Amino acid sequence: MCGIVGILGREPVAERLVEALKRLEYRGYDSAGVATLEGGHIARRRAEGKLRNLDLKLHAEPLNGTVGIGHTRWATHGAPTERNAHPHATEKVAVVHNGIIENFRELRHSLEAAGHVFRTETDTEVVAHLVTDEMNSGKAPIEAVAAALPKLKGAFALGFVFDGAPDLLIGARRGSPLAIGYGDGEMYIGSDALALAPFTDRIAYLDDGDWAVLSRNGAEIHDAAGHKVERPQIRSQASSFLVDKGNHRHFMAKEIHEQPEVVGHTLAYYLDMANDRVRLPKLPFDIASLKHVAISACGTAFYAGLIGKYWFERFARLPVEIDIASEFRYREAPLEPGGLAVFVSQSGETADTLASLRYAAQHGQNILSVVNVPTSTIARESHAVMPTLAGPEIGVASTKAFTCQLAVLASLAVAAGRARGTLSEVDEQRLVAALVAAPGLMAEALKLEPQIEALARNLSKAKDVLYLGRGTSYPLALEGALKLKEISYIHAEGYAAGELKHGPIALIDETMPVIVIAPYDRIFEKTASNMQEVAARGGRIILFTDAKGAEEAGVETEATFVLPDMPATITPFAYAVLIQLLAYHTAVVMGTDVDQPRNLAKSVTVE
């Protein structure tokens, strides 16, 4: 979603603002802008579309100010036009904003009644006018911001610069993340440490409700109640090199190919590979005495959680309830105190997942998060964190974060099974040995890329695609459909294969590709019957299976992809690679913006 940067520099900052914004591109955006003080007065350059358009504007009309703010906007209120692009400004203040100001309509009405003239449809513009209104009543910039913030409702991060104040930058955080960077005679704000990495590795994260007044000498941080507070400075690990695509055409391709390595790292963190045992960090609750697990997440992370549910229930005989976070947060689930609530999130900033976490914490749950960004809000608000070691995921469509989430959930489920006595030591060794083999099998799956690429050329002509699977292949079917629709814009649906007869079979005709994920397992025959039903109606079957599955399928397929035999526990890892490759190559054929698909954001910090 929107990205924020701000620099109080010693030299002109416009170029560096854009450089930092480029590092936030992965969050998704549809317009961008910067504001600096030129001769003490606010000057802005903004552009629709990609950052190169902003670059061109700055080239034509350079900005030379040494204090400035920048923004990539993912439209919520108002179309993604130049007029609605941030920074928004009055003659007194310029502001950049990530999140949603929920009470913007009321504020706008009262400000308009007081004579303020609005020029955009955005919720953000009210912040500029609200602060201006406070300044018009005689307040200095800092007091004006302090007076304005409590009047705003919603979740947001903000950055401000002020006309006539060349040594002042203010940042505020409620809900959406904001980091402060400490340089040598320079100070920075940014949505994350990755944006600031070229300038500094000394970072402090604002807590919820904090706001910070920056000068070139440092920062004074206030909490929501207005008390001065200290937030620890940490050394960020974010690389100052722009994470690059290596020799791949897209970040998504690179991230798909990285999976054997990063899943291997993640497994090595949780498993004692020499002895085929699980080795979890110490958890602040007793897994053995748990009665219930609640998992909550969004999108792809939700599907990882759904596969986790199958594992927890099978290995640890622990009942698991799983919810889409946007539902969980409002459905008022009764939670018996002492239960375990697990939150799965790549970014660790997803608004619905965070709200669900807070609900569970208020209801006495032990909070465990599986996150890829260990400094994220979700990680910081959890009682225990099990990081995925996927490294920065830049492609908007999640790939390596998903399989690393599987690695963590599988390790946890096996550990739970051991602690609860539902798995023997021999079972543990068998399961761990299987997990250790997963990266190698993912590498095998990558070898099928040329055939998948060929299939993608056909698939790109389809209007609708159906994905089917049973057991842990059912969440994979959902994930396959999500991946395809989000990057190729082809309509796709995932179904439990057993559900076919209950509705979706009506869609089957000779134009409909049906992708069946069916490793040969104890329920393969059931899926084979479903394939018969599809074949009988002329549907085009594309089968992902193994040698035995290919032999026993009993139907003619348009294409069959054969993976090596593998233990059932690790099929989601290897088969995930195939569905990712298929979505990726179909999108490439379609010519879409694979890494930044339309309308999508990497980190969904609004509801």
353 binds ligand F6R (CB under 6 A): yes
Quick one: which segment of 222-230, 299-307, 436-444, 522-530 binds ligand F6R (CB under 6 A)?
A: 299-307
Minimal distance, residue 138 CB to ligand F6R, in Å: 44
Residues contacting residue 332 through CB under 8 Å, at least 6 positions apart: none
Over its C-alpha atoms, the chain yields an Rg (Å, rounded) of 25
Q: Give the nearer residue to ligand F6R in terms of CB position, either 236 or 398.
A: 398
Quick one: which segment of 97-105, 121-129, 297-305, 585-593 binds ligand F6R (CB under 6 A)?
A: 297-305
Other Cβ atoms less than 10 A from the Cβ of 82: the count is 16
Mark 444-483 with x for binding to ligand F6R (rule: CB under 6 A) and - for no binding.
Answer: --------------------------------------x-
580 phi/psi in degrees, rounded to 5: -65, -45
SS3 30: coil
Minimal distance, residue 542 CB to ligand F6R, in Å: 21
515 binds ligand F6R (CB under 6 A): no
Which of the residues are catalytic? 2, 602
Place of tokens 């603002």: 17
Q: Are 508 and 495 in contact (CB under 8 A)?
A: no
382 binds ligand F6R (CB under 6 A): no
* Cα–Cα distance, 315 to 606 (Å, whole number): 36
Q: Are 466 and 514 in contact (CB under 8 A)?
A: yes
Residues contacting residue 163 through CB under 8 Å, at least 6 positions apart: 37, 40, 41, 42, 91, 92, 93
345 binds ligand F6R (CB under 6 A): yes
Count how many Cα atoms sit within 13 Å of the Cα of residue 396 in the half-sphere of its side chain: 27
Minimal distance, residue 303 CB to ligand F6R, in Å: 8
477 phi/psi in degrees, rounded to 5: -65, -40
Which residue has the CB atom at the shortest distance from ligand F6R? 299
301 binds ligand F6R (CB under 6 A): yes
Q: Give the nearer residue to ligand F6R in terms of CB position, either 198 or 374.
A: 374
Tell me the Ramachandran region of residue 175: left when phi exceeds 0, alpha when psi lies from -120 to 50, beta otherwise. Answer: left
Both tokens of 557, joined, read: 């397929």
Q: Give the nearer residue to ligand F6R in terms of CB position, either 486 or 595.
A: 486
* Cα–Cα distance, 424 to 23 (Å, whole number): 47
Q: Give the nearer residue to ligand F6R in terms of CB position, either 212 or 304.
A: 304
604 binds ligand F6R (CB under 6 A): yes
Q: Are 131 and 89 in contact (CB under 8 A)?
A: no
Choice from 486, 521, 546, 595 touching ligand F6R (CB under 6 A): 486
Q: Give the nearer residue to ligand F6R in terms of CB position, either 301 or 445.
A: 301
Q: Give the nearer residue to ligand F6R in terms of CB position, either 571 or 603.
A: 603
236 binds ligand F6R (CB under 6 A): no
397 binds ligand F6R (CB under 6 A): yes
300 binds ligand F6R (CB under 6 A): yes
298 binds ligand F6R (CB under 6 A): yes
Longest dimension (CA), the chain: 81
Quick one: which segment of 33-41, 104-112, 170-178, 296-304 binds ligand F6R (CB under 6 A)?
A: 296-304
SS3 550: helix
List of residues contacting ligand F6R (CB under 6 A): 298-301, 345-347, 350, 353, 397-398, 482, 486, 603-604
